[in-house]
Amino acid sequence: MTCGKENSEGRIVVTMTYNETKILRWTSPEPRSNNMIWSGDLEIDDITPTLANHLSLSEPTLATSLVAGSILQITPSGMYFNDTVRKQVSAQERIVQASVVGKDIILVVYNDSGVWTLWSITVDVTHPSEGSQGDDISFSFKGQIDLPREPSAIRLIHFQYSSFHLL
């Protein structure tokens, strides 16, 4: 996750075996914006203890992103914003793979009946009117596709079509 002024700091989420997740913070003494030449120097700190009350660390993190200033975390049981369950799968289902780009999410969900599906979800953030508290965060289910078997990997990418003309 990238954040910070002039792309000079960000977060790295590392999911390891045995349900362990680490959140690392990187900082660069040089801004990495506006195509500036970057030396590659980084400082990396483990900030997992600091964020422990904002994350669900009891199960592995499959994907994460920074959305509207909150940490979106996807685990096998559901989706969380700052350790608050926002969408949970049923007891017969589990999320086995996830990919997040911006506000778009795709999930591979396994059902105990042996069915594999690919879900498409968008995060909707409504900023409150003046005097209200916090952003209203919800999920919009965009559809699903049944899969013949478990995919080996998934990756969500945004593709913008650019046309060109031959002279």
Q: How far apart are CA 48 and CA 53, in angstroms?
A: 9
Rg value, the chain, Cα: 18
3-state secondary structure of 54: helix
Of 75, 73, 76, 67, residue with least CA distance to 136: 67
Q: Are 139 and 100 in contact (CB under 8 A)?
A: no
Please tell me the predicted confidence (pLDDT) of residue 148. Answer: 93
- Residues of the domain holding 68: 2-147
84/105 Cα distance (integer angstroms): 18
The secondary element (H helix, E strand) that includes residue 48 is helix 48-51
Lowest-pLDDT range of 55-59, 117-121, 159-163: 159-163
For residue 105, what are the CA distances in angstroms to 40, 44, 147, 164, 165? 30, 27, 17, 30, 34
Whether residue 167 lies inside any domain: the answer is: no
Residue 138 lies in a domain: yes
pTM over 0.85? The answer is no
Least confident among 18-32, 76-90, 100-114, 137-151 = 18-32
Distance CA 82, CA 129 (A): 22
Question: Is a pLDDT exceeding 50 seen at residue 167?
Answer: no
115, 99 Cβ separation under 8 angstroms = no
Question: Is residue 68 situated within a structural domain?
Answer: yes
Instruction: Please give the residue that has the higher pLDDT: either 160 or 104.
Output: 104
pLDDT of the residue at 129:
58
Decide if 157 is inside a domain: no
- Has residue 141 been placed in a domain? yes
Greater confidence, 134 or 59? 59
| Domains: count for the chain | 1
Share of the chain above pLDDT 70, in %: 69
Q: Is residue 10 part of a domain?
A: yes
Residue 154 counted as domain residue: no
Please report the pLDDT score of residue 90 as a whole number: 93
Whether residue 166 lies inside any domain: the answer is: no
Each residue's pLDDT tens digit, 24-69: 888 887 776 666 676 777 888 888 777 666 666 677 788 887 777 6
